[in-house]
Structure 1
Amino acid sequence: MRGWDGWWSATCSTGGTSWSSGWAGDLAGAIGLLSTVVEDMGHALGQSDPDTLAARYHLVWCIGESGETVSAMRRLAQLLPDLHAAWGGHDPRVLKARHDLAVYTANRGDLDGAVHQLRALLPDLARVLGEQHPAAVQAWQDLAGYQQRLAAAPAGRAARRPLPMHPAEALVLIRCLLTWDFASDREADACVTALERGTGIKQVGDWILSAPDHVTAEDLVDEIYGP
């Protein structure tokens, strides 16, 4: 994924605040600090203030770089309507965010979804920036790469077997586990056992409790059940 201080900062200056890619050396620290900054800026300036939008986007980028693709994807999908409302659908910053979302979608394993997103994006990139702009060229290259991977995939792949537990039930149990909303240790053990049986993941409780603070229960459910 191309970083915040690349094409975004070169073409999408928001004026007031500069976010340094030097934080990339300490992603966990950057994510924690930016999460606080985003919350404070949202309260003080509003979610659609240009500097708040810049901070929110940089937070998404740091989360994506940390490997938490599902969490980054969810946050970027929530951010895009605000970017669109603030700058319009054909603003270069919005186009870059759409491209990044397609890359996250592919990284999550949904190549069909990424191809669909890039096919919709490319005409807008060509119209706004020109077909030879590096952003448009990169999008074409990504599209070609995803199409090649789809073509090379085994034909007639078996559908993923549904898990015994419904995602909504898993979400409730994961939320209980993250907040430790139990009357007793026995109740907590029953929750973990139910999740292990329902998802087929051994030591699922340890996995859930070791997730970073910015990963939500919804993110974990998406990780389990896939695209």
Structure 2
Amino acid sequence: MFSFNSNMSFATSFRSEAVNENRRMGSFTSAKESSALLTLRESLEEVFPICNSQAPLQTPFCFQYEITQGFLHNGVAASSDLIFPRRLDYGEYDRFWAHLRKFEVLLGKPFPPKTDKIVWGVLGQDIPLGSHAVVMSGSLQYQASGPLFKLRLKPLHIDLSHRLERRFSSDRFLEIDIPSIGGTKIPKCLSDAGFAGIAVVKECLIESHQDFIGCRTWVSFCNKAARERERMKRNSTTH
């Protein structure tokens, strides 16, 4: 499941504003905006990578996460020949990275930072962390060309958990920060789409599902202001 942390000041009224604006626009959308909406939709379809990983099914999910992270970091698609010879275990982290670097599309390319050894050790030994957990997170960042957003995944790290992570396991949740989609500092393809563009972005991020990271189906279940999340974390560390 996705948890989106938004920098939008109107996050709580995101749905109603977009829908009401579409109703006001009605059939008066200009040809320019219609073309921009089509371009925007096509752009958003390229944000989340298609799952092509052929890692053995019993391979721990954290390896699947790092495979996706490595390909996203270099802006290349995971090809169907991404095959690992056998099931990997937690003690083979360095071997896993060495094997990943050998794939043709990744030869000589920079890789994202590795997961801290302490964090990886927690995963391998299944150490209980109380109110904390090893979490997956990332961000969507605007691009000047290509897809509207570039998805960047952060290394696995220990952070404050929530009750659903503690109940169902933190590898079922991915927290993503998204930039403001209003105001003047937005890409041209989004501003050209007018108010209807907000609804298109919402449809892609909030209402659609994505199949990636371990070939799981991911859907959004929560959207809240980033500042609210940070305030909750600060409060938890002062008590």
Q: TM-score range by the shorter chain?
A: under 0.3
> Structure 2 length normalisation: TM-score?
0.25
Q: 1 or 2, which has the higher strand percentage? A: 2
Q: 1 or 2, which has the higher helix percentage? A: 1
- Higher RCO by CA contacts (8 Å cutoff, separation 6 or greater): 2
